[in-house]
Amino acid sequence: MNGMVVEIEGVALHLAHPDEMPVRWVGQEEVMRQLLAAWLVVDEADMPMNPRLIGKPGVGKTTLAYAAAQRLGREVYVMQATVDTRPEDLIVQPVIDGPQSLRYVASPLVSAMLRGGVAILDEGNRMSEKSWASLAPLLDGRRYVESIVAGIKVKAHPLFRIVATMNDDSSTFDLPEYIHSRLQPQILIDFPERDEEMMILRENLPFADERVLDYIVDFLQQAHASEERYTVRDGINIGRYAMKLMVEPVLAGGLPEALGFSVRHILGEEALRYARRTG
């Protein structure tokens, strides 16, 4: 391998760069242990599993996957799935490189396969069956993909690991059964408990007033109890905006008004039913 280019069956593949995300997983160690266990290899006859992280948008599925890869000391490659993701997007794409030549560019997924990194296939249930079908041999004992475009077969490094995140909401496509059985185990991520939610807020809003953090945690816990979809990500945005409003005093009512204003303008008027009045 030469830098970020590797040759396979006479074809030079230009690899993607790993992703750098400033994240730290706070609380919920149980799901972290479940994910790391799925990636373990306990015997030479064993293989790593391909877990699926399922939860509502904003509960931290991608953060968990990235933090788990960090604990293993591996490079992380994030592949964002959409309804438009094609098999060649997942594997190798040809790029015009001069008047009469093509350059073959490996996807983040294939780059992780070759470098022994961790691939996060984000929002996998947005992807069509045709795209999933191209990954079927990667997700079983064969552990390879085939690029029709480049005419090569790419085998996964023994250290390669993959995890798919899936939002627990209405998605465009259902997983085909033969993929469903290859993406196991299912790891469910729920809303955090109150103390864990406070830890996450303190981690992400170290500059916030304690009254702001208490208000947000109360708001989120009320919303969770009512099965609302508001997440800690929403809470972080509420806190950030409220603190900015206090620095740039555009409201006469101080912190109480800033918090209510922030909830209203980030989540909408209906969210105020879960917000307590702050004196």
pLDDT exceeds cutoff 70 at 169: no
Does 279 have pLDDT greater than 50? no
Q: Do residues 125 and 45 share a domain?
A: yes
pLDDT for 142 equals 93
- Structural domain includes residue 9: yes
Residues 182, 223 within the same domain: no
Same domain, 229 and 262: yes
Q: What is the pLDDT of residues 187-236, one digit of tens each?
A: 999 888 898 889 889 988 998 889 999 999 999 999 988 888 888 889 99
Do 32 and 124 have their domain in common?
A: yes
Give the residue from 160, 188, 216 where a domain finishes. Answer: 188
Would 205 be classed as within a structural domain? yes
Query: Within this chain, do residues 174 and 108 fall inside the same structural domain, yes or no?
Result: yes
Whichever domain contains 104, its CATH number is 3.40.50.300
The tally of domains found in the chain comes to: 2
For residue 146, report the phi and psi dihedrals to the nearest 5 degrees.
Answer: -115, 130
| 152 and 230 belong to one structural domain | no
Residue 3 has pLDDT above 60, yes or no: no
Domain hosting residue 209, numbered range? 194-274
Give me the sign of the Cα torsion angle 226, 29, 46, 123: positive
Phi, psi torsion values for 275, nearest 5 degrees: -100, 125
Residues 56 and 139 in one domain: yes
The pLDDT of residue 170 is 59
- For residue range 227-275, list pLDDT tens digits in order: 888 888 899 999 999 989 888 766 767 888 889 999 999 999 999 998 8
pLDDT digits (tens, 9 = 90+) for 30-81: 999 999 999 999 998 899 999 999 988 878 899 899 999 999 999 999 999 9
> Is the residue at 18 inside a domain?
yes
Do 161 and 50 lie in one domain? The reply is yes
| Same domain for 14 and 144 | yes
Q: How confident is the model at residue 2 (pLDDT cuts 50, 70, 90)?
A: very low
Of the candidates 74, 62, 137, 149, the residue with the CA atom closest to the CA atom of residue 111 = 74
| Residue-wise pLDDT tens digits, 73-122 | 999 999 999 989 998 999 998 888 777 788 889 999 999 999 999 999 99
Whether 163 and 248 share a structural domain: no
With cut-offs at 50, 70 and 90, classify the pLDDT of residue 1.
very low
Residue 134 has pLDDT above 50, yes or no: yes
In a domain, 279, yes or no: no
Average pLDDT of the residues in 152-176: 85
Let me know if residue 262 belongs to a domain: yes
Does 231 fall in a domain?
A: yes
Q: Which of 161, 188, 215 is the last residue of a domain?
A: 188
User: Rounded to an integer, what distance in angstroms lies between the CA atom of residue 254 and that of residue 202?
Assistant: 22
Q: 97 CB contacts (<8 Å, ≥6 apart)?
A: 103
